[in-house]
Structure 1
Amino acid sequence: MTETAEQDLRIQVRGLAKSFGDAHVLRGIDFDSPRGSSTVLLGPSGSGKTTLLRSLNALETPERGVVRIDEVEVDFAALPTGKAGRRESGRLRAQSGMVFQTHNLFPHRTVLENIIEGPVIAQQRPKEEAVAEAKVLLDQVGLGDRADAYPYQLSGGQQQRVGIARALALKPRVVLFDEPTSALDPELVGEVLAVIKDLAADGWTMVIVTHEIRFAGQVADQVLFLDGGVIVEQGPPSQVIEHPQEERTQRFLKRILDPG
């Protein structure tokens, strides 16, 4: 790889391995995500998608493997114990914003208060600056008029859009989505997916776990199909989704797209 090509990479993963007891969930994962690209992780339940996503920001700690986001690199096999290890993991975690399956908003705080919590408390940024930026983000996700609302006053789709704004408020290098529509009623899925498409168009670097195959085809620059803790097939959606080469990928997509 040339130096220029390496500088264009935002995420590099090499040899990532993770077990839970006797279950080998990740078995040596390698992939790159260029700056400004969207990577979608597909695969059946238990294939390792969420564990891989959570390993990218050290919410899970692999036994071995290297994750690099821009200039921050963690070699998990050499991760120190105690405070030093937590500090190193924290540096990696600070590079990304995470959007979970459920929005996890503070119920006793307004939408605006939820969004500024991280920038003000965790990042020690001035409150006035955080508020101004939060209002811009709320406009971006289509909720500019809901800053003073409480979570119970919002639909599930609106709460998830607040969750996206909250992740972006941390000014991450990478945004990670863990099945962001799986907990939503079907009629609310589209509004969340539309926001993610807009982020892709704006050049955010994203890694997305989803079962929304058609959405994946629209938003992804590359698709990784995982099964049994390994990447079975990877490439652009025109290959992996429209013309999969591996029989396991073909069976998975047929089951999802043509369940009858």
Structure 2
Amino acid sequence: MLQVSGLTKSFGANTVLHGVDFEVRRGEVVALIGPSGSGKTTVLRSLNGLETPDRGRLEFADGPSVDFTSPVPKATRTQLRDRSAMVFQHHNLFPHRTVLQNVIEGPVHAHKVPKAEAMARAEALLDRVGLSDKRDAFPFQLSGGQQQRVGIVRALALQPSLLLFDEPTSALDSELVGEVLLVLKELAEEGWTMVIVTHELAFARQVADEVLFFDDGVILERGAPKDLFTHPQHVRTRRFIDRILRPFDD
């Protein structure tokens, strides 16, 4: 579905991506793991057009193709955003709008979907994640886990080719993490194509088809979860996994 080639990005004198290459196949879940500041979120934001790399290419199988060595036309950036939908660490719901109004905002105003169709789609998706009874609630009336599930529904309502998740559980209390991870697991089982930045390594080991370990702006190691988590090849990968995952293993 997507080929990423040579993504390079600097903020002032700080280079945060050093020529990152990877691909995402249709129906695949790719997990990006690694320490904070290693470039994972910058990659994710680049895929959605929220960040503009200094160099590199993004090539979607069904278009568009973006070469960041030249200025990116607004129309191309819009095409890029139409291919994907992003779920952030903080759900970023409109506080003055109901759950249903939050979900239909993108389809109606960005994609020009008729309101009745957008509402029917939103109601079906809310029912799917167990929130149909919250359609008329405002965000402040929801738990953090419920708000994040609304954020996921808002992304699904755009019917994107690619779902992007930036640490979707990091802002949640520990008891609410499971309900969000369950939704992500169900989406993976249904064949949604996803790129997920996460520190939930046990979840990545269960759900991902490929894991990319980032360190200092490069992909230091990549592989299937059963290989990377069980037999990491780099000392840096092993230390990271031991620090986060091993204490929770039986």
Normalising by the smaller structure, the TM-score range is over 0.9
Partner residue in 2 for 1:6: none
1:53 alignment partner, SS class: helix
SS in structure 1 opposite 2:69?
helix
1:220-231 alignment runs, 5 A limit: 220-231=208-219
Q: Which among 2, 12, 16 is matched to residue 11 of structure 1?
A: 2
Letter in 1 for 2:71: L
Aligned residue number for residue 200 of structure 2 = 212
Letter in 2 for 1:19: S
Q: Is the 8 A contact 2:213 2:221 kept in 1?
A: yes
Match of 1:75 among 67, 89, 93: 67
Structure 1, unaligned runs of 5 or more: 1-9
Aligned length: 247
What TM-score, normalized to structure 2? 0.96
Q: Over aligned residue pairs, what C-alpha RMSD do you find?
A: 1.1
Which residue in 2 is equivalent to 1:243?
Answer: 231
Give the TM-score normalised by the residue count of structure 1.
0.93
1:57 maps to 2:45:
no
Instruction: Name the structure 2 match of 1:193.
Output: 181
Q: Bigger CA drift: 140-149 or 188-197? A: 140-149
Larger deviation: 174-183 or 138-147? 138-147
Cross-structure match for 2:25: 34
Q: Distance in 2 between matches of 1:139 and 1:204?
A: 18
Select which of 39, 48, 60 maps to 2:39: 48
**Residue 93 of structure 1: how far off its partner (Å):** 1.2
Where does the alignment leave 5 or more consecutive residues of structure 2 unmatched? none
SS at match of 1:35: coil
Whole-angstrom CA distance in 1 between matches of 2:186 and 2:118: 22
- One-letter amino acid of the counterpart of residue 233, structure 2: Q
Distance 1:237 1:136 in 2: 33
**Partner letter of residue 65 of structure 1?**
G
Correspondent of 1:24 among 15, 19, 26: 15
CA contact (8 A) 2:64 2:76 kept: no
Amino acid at match of 1:142: G
Give the C-alpha shift of residue 12 in structure 1. Answer: 0.8
Deviation track 1:8-38 (CA, whole Å, cap 9, x = no partner) reads: xx11100110001111101001101110000
Deviation (angstroms), 1:50? 0.3
